[in-house]
Amino acid sequence: MDELELIFENATRSAIFTNREVLRPDYIPDQLPHRGNEIRKVAMVMATALQGVRPSNLFIYGLTGTGKTAVAKYVLKRLSAKAERSVKRVKWIYINTRIENTSYRVLAHIAEGLGLKIPFTGLSTSEVYRRIINRLNSDSVILILVLDEIDFMVRKEGDEILYRLSRVNEDLSSSKVTIVGITNDIRFIESLDPRVKSSLGEEELVFPPYNASQLEDILSERAKLAFRPGALGDGVIPLCAALAAREHGDARRALDLLRVAGEVAEREGADVVSEDHVHRAYNELERDRAVEVISTLPLHSKIVLYTIYRSVGDTPPTTGEVYVKYRELCQRMGLEPVTQRRVSDIISELDMLGLVNATIINRGRYGKTRILLPTIQRDVVLSALENDPYISMF
Ligand X SMILES: Nc1ncnc2c1ncn2[C@@H]1O[C@H](COP(=O)(O)OP(=O)(O)O)[C@@H](O)[C@H]1O
Find out whether 148 and 182 touch, Cβ atoms under 8 Å: yes
Does 66 participate in binding ligand X (rule CB under 6 A)? Answer: yes
377/283 Cα distance (integer angstroms): 10
Considering the complex, state which of residue 69 and residue 175 has its C-beta at the smaller distance from Mg ion: 69
Nearest to 246 by CA among 278, 198, 222: 278
Backbone angles phi, psi at 52, to 5 degrees: 80, 15
Least distance between Mg ion and beta carbon 341 (Å): 37
The one among 16, 46, 59, 69 contacting ligand X by CB under 6 A: 69
Considering the complex, state which of residue 34 and residue 197 has its C-beta at the smaller distance from ligand X: 34
The one among 67, 233, 249, 316 contacting ligand X by CB under 6 A: 67
Which positions from 7 through 36 interact with ligand X, judged by CB under 6 A? 25, 27-29, 32-35
Does 370 participate in binding ligand X (rule CB under 6 A)? Answer: no
Nearest to 216 by CA among 246, 254, 263: 254
Least distance between ligand X and beta carbon 76 (Å): 13
Distances (CA, A) of 230 to 221, 224, 273: 15, 10, 9
Considering the complex, state which of residue 98 and residue 279 has its C-beta at the smaller distance from ligand X: 98
56/317 Cα distance (integer angstroms): 55
332/241 Cα distance (integer angstroms): 47
Least distance between ligand X and beta carbon 252 (Å): 4
58-62 β-sheet, strand order: 90-96, 142-148, 176-183, 58-62, 203-207
35 binds, among Mg ion, ligand X, none (CB under 5 to 8 A by kind): ligand X
Which positions from 47 through 76 interact with Mg ion, judged by CB under 5 A? 69
Nearest to 83 by CA among 109, 48, 56: 48
User: What are the E-state strand segments in 171-323?
Assistant: 176-183, 203-207
Does 64 participate in binding ligand X (rule CB under 6 A)? Answer: yes
Total binding residues toward Mg ion, as defined by CB under 5 A: 1
261 binds, among Mg ion, ligand X, none (CB under 5 to 8 A by kind): none
Least distance between Mg ion and beta carbon 266 (Å): 28
Which residues contact ligand X (rule: CB under 6 A)? Answer: 25, 27-29, 32-35, 62, 64-70, 184, 218, 251-252, 255
Which residues contact Mg ion (rule: CB under 5 A)? Answer: 69
